Amino acid sequence: MKIIAAIPAHNEEATIGSVVLRAKKYVDKVIVVDDGSTDDTAEIAELAGSEVVKHKKNKGYGAAIKSCFGTARKAGADVMVIMDADWQHNPGEIEMVIKPVKKGEADIVIGSRFLEETYIPAYRKFGMRVLNLFTHISSDRVSDTQSGFRAYSRKAISELKLESESMGIGSEILMKAKNKNLIIKEVPIKTRHDIKGTSSMNPVSHGFSVISTIIRFISIQHPLLFYGFPGAVAVIAGLILGGKTMNMFNIQRELPVGIALMTVLFIIVGMVLSSMGIILYSMIGIIERSKEKE
């Protein structure tokens, strides 16, 4: 069984060497995806014994994860574990995270920060809870949707075709895993939040990135829910306003222009949204049937 550790990194020269050396004890191969670092991250990773995949420029966390998956496929990995390069994740927990995959009990294992009591700054914990809530709209319920410490089976590596190049890729993986009927399991991990000098995305930007990814996914995968339902509500609201308009006209013999305009607006917007939902739903059905024939 070939086990690979994949580590996305951007300007992590202070920690990448020691993380690679420690991770090598638990896997057959370590791959570092250097996402356009301007320091010596790539060189230090190579000296520590890692294979390095380089991005010429900083493309984003999601792009680095996509490269991890692509490299693991080419290497024929049976198990891939992805972890951070800055010691927030403990390489000593790799064996625990990959164990359910090795035993065939799961296709994806998430190292959760919430299964056991562990210190997480209050603002981060609140943000994680909010992002969990959004992700659960279209994925299986897990306690830590944003954890970057995960293990994947050969099946998951092969079947997950990822698109996002942002921080939203973690949520995208969970949503697509549900569509693929991949088995997800969680194990408790400890994380460090006292690391100084490591690169980190602004929490607000992180949140918007994740939420935009979720919205885009739902709009494509569930067009009737995303477009059709609001459209139907708008049409119904328009009809109700239309009835009120007619009633006021019959009583006052004068057209209430404001309400009449709102009636027309609601009905037009509702019809457009409903039509978009139906068209997208039909197109997705045609695409899926054509894929099945292939």
The mean per-residue pLDDT over the stretch 216-228 comes to 81
pLDDT recorded at residue 288: 63
Average pLDDT of the chain?
A: 87
pLDDT recorded at residue 199: 46
The mean per-residue pLDDT over the stretch 63-69 comes to 96
What is the torsional sign of CA 165, 150, 19, 192?
A: positive
The answer for residues whose C-beta is within 8 angstroms of residue 86's C-beta and 6 or more apart is: 12, 15, 19, 195, 198, 199
CA–CA dist 175, 173 (Å, integer): 6
- Is the pTM higher than 0.85? The answer reads no
The answer for residues whose C-beta is within 8 angstroms of residue 31's C-beta and 6 or more apart is: 4, 5, 6, 7, 50, 51, 52, 53, 68, 71, 72, 75
Residue 173, pLDDT above cutoff 70 = yes
Which of the two residues, 145 and 79, has the higher pLDDT score? 79
pLDDT recorded at residue 119: 55
Among 35-44, 123-132, 279-288, the minimum mean pLDDT is found in: 123-132
The mean per-residue pLDDT over the stretch 96-124 comes to 84
pLDDT recorded at residue 221: 74
pLDDT recorded at residue 222: 79
Among 120-129, 144-153, 166-175, 202-211, the minimum mean pLDDT is found in: 120-129
Q: In the chain, pLDDT over 70 holds for what percent of residues?
A: 84
The mean per-residue pLDDT over the stretch 207-221 comes to 75
Residue type, 93: E
pLDDT recorded at residue 29: 97
Which of the two residues, 12 and 132, has the higher pLDDT score? 12
CA–CA dist 218, 228 (Å, integer): 12
Residue 149, pLDDT above cutoff 50 = yes
Q: How many Cβ atoms from other residues are within 10 Å of residue 73's Cβ?
A: 13
The mean per-residue pLDDT over the stretch 55-70 comes to 95
pLDDT recorded at residue 275: 93
Of the segments 30-39, 187-196, 199-208, which one has the largest average pLDDT value? 30-39
Give me the sheet containing 29-35, strands edge to edge.
51-55, 29-35, 3-9, 79-82, 150-153, 108-112, 184-188
The mean per-residue pLDDT over the stretch 89-111 comes to 96
pLDDT recorded at residue 132: 64
Q: In the chain, pLDDT over 90 holds for what percent of residues?
A: 61
pLDDT recorded at residue 217: 75
